[in-house]
Amino acid sequence: MTWGTELWDQFENLDKHTQWGIDFLERYSKFVKERLEIEQTYAKQLRNLVKKYCPKRSKDDEPRFSSCVSFYSILNELNDYAGQREVVAEEMGHKVYGELMRYSQDLKSERKQHLQEGRKAQQYLDQCWKQMDNSKKKFERECKEAEKSQISYDRLDNDINATKSEVEKAKSQLYLRTHSADESKNEYAAQLQNFNGEQWKHFNVAIPQIFKNLQDMDERRTVKLGETYRSFADVERRVVPIISKCLEGMVTAAKAVDQRKDSAIVVESFKSGFEPPGDYPFEDYSQNLSRTGSDNTISTPKNEGGVKPDPKHSISKTAKNKLWLFGKKPKAPSLEDFSHLPPEQRRKRLQARIDELSKELQKEVDQRDALNKMKDVYEKNPQMGDPQSLQPKISETMCNMEKLRSEIHKNESWLSEVEGKVSTRGDRRPSADVNHHAPHGRESPEGSYTDVPNQEHRSPPHQPDPRQAHQPDEFDDEFDDDDPLPVIGHCKALYSFSGQNEGTLLMKENEVLYIIEEDKGDGWTRARKQSGEEGYVPTSYVEIAMEKNSKGLAMMNAASWM
């Protein structure tokens, strides 16, 4: 069933119907636009919500409780979910709304073209009809004029009083009118035949083809609407698997909440390391009062056998200072050594700082090694670069290394102090025999702590900075022996060393010293000057030659160096 045969006379109604179809398509386009704007607004609001409840945090503020971690995981999943809503809006705008708007413009152009063709065909048919109608009217006029001429001729011909000339004139006029009527008749017949032919073409060829084009256009519009309906649903369906994963991630985050783990974190975060205070003793202020044996009063028991009272039962300033454990904690300023914190928290903070400084030191060491390798390459291949151009950077790196080592040693000293106090309460640290290479009362200059809590060892030696060597804090008990140690070798100073701290030895570049104690892995060698002054120098600052013979042989070799 086609419009061309069934609706041959409904041009105006088809005009209105096709216009309604385009209007409906544009209305649906507007619906899609508003829908994608809703998706965009929804996604934007979700992202703002996530941003509001998941602000930027510093490294120290990272969540540790499982409930917080799960909540932030849910926020991340929600952020991904918002991203999928943005994908939906983008796909709707590109594949549905944009396509509909382009197709609407094409439909308008095509419809306009078909209607113009229909109107032209109608105008041509109307023109043919007018020509036929004009020829018909002319034929009618000519026939009437011929009839009048016939009547006039008949009247004059029957009139005996009419002259011959009048009769001939009337006859001639009749002939002319009759001839004109015949010509008008022929013209009218031709125009009528032409009009009938054009009308047949109009209603059987032109109009059916134009209406068929309009029908095809309208059917394609309907098909396009169906396709966009399906695309509209497919856009949602494509993101469903990813949205399902986001929801599964939220469920997984919810299952990861562990109340016992959170409780343990609370203990770890706030444990002070203090022991609960002991019982307060009874203070008897009535001892100076005279009492009789029959008085039924409570007397304070005396210490028998000269036993001293338990320190836990004595009221001391320290105990009073710990009363904040059961009340409001006093505010204390933040100190570099964290001494304002309880012992356990102070130990953790110091250990974390040491680990961080150690990582930075390792980076500097790697950079120094890389620069030294580059310098060696330049020395072997001068065309590649100037070795001296790397020296400022090497010196800067060495200086940074020594600053970091100084910081590490300072923090390790504080950590040793804290762990020493804690070990007196709970014996949480092993005995000092672990560090048996170092004399009592002195840490190795490069001493550090392992990752295992409360265990100390000597770290591998590091090369000191030629401008500022790392110096130990104390060498108190190293030189208590009365007998001098024998010389076991000699060394030559490669760099100058200030020796400012107690226990270290000042030396100048190229100065020759006697070695009386080898480096035990801590980066320091014990040496003696010719003047008899002894102390520790950085092993990496000297060139060492060990001797198996006596001191005299060492002195001879030293003299050969000088």
Digit-coded pLDDT (tens) for 95-138 = 899 999 999 999 999 999 999 999 998 899 999 999 999 999 99
CA angle 159–165–167, rounded 5-degree value = 40
What secondary structure does DSSP assign to 470-498, as a single string?
---S--TTTT--SSPPPP-EEEEESS-B-
Instruction: Report whether pLDDT(301) > 50.
Output: no
pLDDT band at 454 (very low <50, low <70, confident <90, very high): very low
Question: How high is the pLDDT of residue 102?
Answer: 93
Instruction: Report whether pLDDT(370) > 80.
Output: yes
Question: How high is the pLDDT of residue 427?
Answer: 44
Residue 380 to residues 386, 390, 395, Cα–Cα distance (Å):
11, 14, 21
Nearest residue to 6 (alpha-carbon basis) of 220, 211, 217: 211
The residue assigned the tokens 């151009």 is 389
Residue range 274-290: average pLDDT? 78
pLDDT band at 561 (very low <50, low <70, confident <90, very high): low
Where is pLDDT greater, at 484 or 147?
Answer: 147
Question: How high is the pLDDT of residue 524?
Answer: 87
pLDDT band at 449 (very low <50, low <70, confident <90, very high): very low
Q: pLDDT tens digits, residue range 521-531? A: 778 899 998 88
Question: Distance between CA 62 and CA 265 in Å, rounded?
Answer: 13
Q: How many CB atoms are closer than 10 A to CB 499? A: 18
Instruction: Report whether pLDDT(432) > 50.
Output: no
pLDDT-above-90 percentage for the chain: 34
Residue range 299-306: average pLDDT? 44
Nearest residue to 242 (alpha-carbon basis) of 455, 404, 79, 407: 79
Instruction: Report whether pLDDT(560) > 50.
Output: no
What is the sign of the dihedral through the CA atoms of 194, 197, 201 and 204? positive
Please, are residues 547 and 554 in contact by the beta-carbon 8 Å criterion?
yes
Instruction: Report whether pLDDT(444) > 50.
Output: no
Please, are residues 75 and 54 in contact by the beta-carbon 8 Å criterion?
yes
Question: Distance between CA 540 and CA 405 in Å, rounded?
Answer: 15
Please, are residues 107 and 25 in contact by the beta-carbon 8 Å criterion?
yes
The residue assigned the tokens 């703002």 is 48
Residue range 452-469: average pLDDT? 38
Residue range 453-459: average pLDDT? 36
Give me the count of residues in the chain: 562
Question: How high is the pLDDT of residue 105?
Answer: 93
pLDDT band at 553 (very low <50, low <70, confident <90, very high): very low
Which residue type occupies 76?
N
Please, are residues 513 and 490 in contact by the beta-carbon 8 Å criterion?
yes
Residue range 201-227: average pLDDT? 91
Question: Distance between CA 537 and CA 544 in Å, rounded?
Answer: 12
The residue assigned the tokens 């672990």 is 434
Instruction: Report whether pLDDT(293) > 90.
Output: no
Residue range 499-511: average pLDDT? 86
CA angle 178–182–186, rounded 5-degree value = 170
Question: How high is the pLDDT of residue 327?
Answer: 43
pLDDT band at 290 (very low <50, low <70, confident <90, very high): low
Question: Distance between CA 275 and CA 280 in Å, rounded?
Answer: 15
Q: 398 has which bridge partners?
A: none
Residue range 64-72: average pLDDT? 89
Question: How high is the pLDDT of residue 311?
Answer: 43
115-119, 244-248, 277-281, 302-306: least confident range = 302-306
Where is pLDDT greater, at 40 or 547?
Answer: 40
The residue assigned the tokens 């004059």 is 156
Where is pLDDT greater, at 235 or 295?
Answer: 235
In a 3-state reduction of DSSP, which class is residue 322? helix
pLDDT band at 362 (very low <50, low <70, confident <90, very high): very high
Question: How high is the pLDDT of residue 23?
Answer: 95
Residue range 78-104: average pLDDT? 93
pLDDT band at 381 (very low <50, low <70, confident <90, very high): confident
390-399, 472-481, 497-506: least confident range = 472-481
- The two most distant CA atoms of the chain are separated, in Å, by 199
pLDDT band at 19 (very low <50, low <70, confident <90, very high): very high
Question: How high is the pLDDT of residue 359?
Answer: 92
Please, are residues 486 and 428 in contact by the beta-carbon 8 Å criterion?
no
For all residues of the chain together, what is the average pLDDT?
A: 78
Question: How high is the pLDDT of residue 421?
Answer: 63
Question: Distance between CA 530 and CA 181 in Å, rounded?
Answer: 157
CA angle 80–85–91, rounded 5-degree value = 125
